[in-house]
């Protein structure tokens, strides 16, 4: 199971109409998501006109996609009225700048406009190595290959946003599916269980702390748990 499967199944089960993706790049996920109204936010899109055209032919609703070429912070600041008129985001996928503070801000902004029954899905919550979890300012500064010459993804410290939400929010249920670099699921509702880290403690956490206790820190679940979750929450 990967992020696209998770998004598609969530949209189908919840009959979601309005989808927002933060960090879209080539549109590999965005263009395939089956929602009626889709909003893409990225300061540096890499989607060619041909790719957009092919996506229209494949699914006509792609014709109405809205593209905002800017950072997520600028988007939420400049388009808050448009978002208010939208009648709620049903599914948001957060995959922009892979840093703790930024991904946290993205979650908080998405929560402001999330439908009561909406779902936030966040990529890169469970880095597999210290090199993937490196705390640098951007993808460009992260290592591209490991010592064996294998290609590396960059998940940064997005995992700390999961720790933050699980430590500070009584009104959110948060868990991470153990697949595709860790796919976080955030919904409004009572938390299954909580953590008790302060923000200072979270800032000071290191990758070894995650390794020592991934299951508990992330509320890590096997990918199949998604079905149980969607059955109970649709």
Q: Counting contacts by CB under 6 A, is residue 179 touching ligand SAM?
A: no
Q: Please identify which residue in 29, 31, 40, 121 interacts with ligand SAM, judged by CB under 6 A.
A: 29
Q: How far apart are CA 110 and CA 120, in angstroms?
A: 8
DSSP secondary structure letter of residue 44 = S
In DSSP terms, 92 is beta-bridged to 20, 120
Q: Which is nearer to ligand SAM, 94 or 114 (CB)?
A: 94
Quick one: which segment of 25-33, 61-69, 141-149, 210-218 binds ligand SAM (CB under 6 A)?
25-33
> Which tokens hold the place of 41?
């936010």
Nearest approach, Cβ of 216 to ligand SAM (angstroms)?
27
Q: Rounded distance, CA 28 to CA 5, Å?
A: 12
Residue 43 is a binding residue for ligand SAM (CB under 6 A): yes
Residues 6 or more apart from 122 whose CB is under 8 A from it? 93, 94, 95, 103, 106, 107, 158, 161, 162, 183, 184, 186
Residue 83-122 contact track with ligand SAM, rule CB under 6 A, x = bound: ------------xxx----x--------------------
Other C-beta atoms within 10 Å of 104: how many? 20
28 binds ligand SAM (CB under 6 A): yes
Q: Which is nearer to ligand SAM, 41 or 89 (CB)?
A: 41
Instruction: Write out the residues near ligand SAM by the rule CB under 6 A.
Output: 3, 22-25, 28-29, 41-44, 71-72, 95-97, 102
């Amino acid at each position: 199971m990967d992020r696209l499967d998770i998004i598609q199944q969530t949209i189908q089960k919840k009959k979601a109409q309005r989808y927002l993706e933060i960090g879209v790049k080539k549109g590999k996920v965005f263009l395939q998501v089956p929602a009626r109204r889709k909003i893409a936010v990225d300061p540096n899109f890499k989607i060619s006109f041909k790719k957009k055209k092919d996506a229209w032919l494949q699914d006509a609703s792609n014709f109405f996609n809205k593209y905002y070429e800017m950072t997520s912070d600028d988007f939420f600041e400049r388009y808050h009225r448009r978002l208010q008129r939208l009648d709620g985001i049903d599914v948001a996928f957060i995959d922009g700048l892979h840093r703790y503070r930024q991904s946290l801000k993205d979650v908080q902004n998405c929560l402001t406009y999330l439908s009561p029954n909406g779902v936030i899905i966040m990529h890169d919550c469970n880095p597999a190595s210290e090199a993937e979890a490196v705390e640098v300012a951007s993808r460009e500064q992260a290592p591209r290959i490991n010592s064996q010459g294998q290609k590396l993804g960059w998940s940064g410290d997005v995992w700390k946003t999961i720790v933050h939400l699980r430590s500070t929010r009584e009104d959110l249920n948060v868990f991470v599916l153990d697949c595709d670099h860790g796919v976080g699921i955030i919904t409004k509702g009572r938390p299954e269980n909580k953590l008790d880290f302060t923000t200072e403690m979270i800032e000071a956490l290191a990758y070894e702390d995650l390794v020592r206790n991934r299951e508990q820190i992330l509320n890590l679940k096997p990918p199949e748990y998604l079905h149980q979750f969607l059955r109970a929450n649709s």
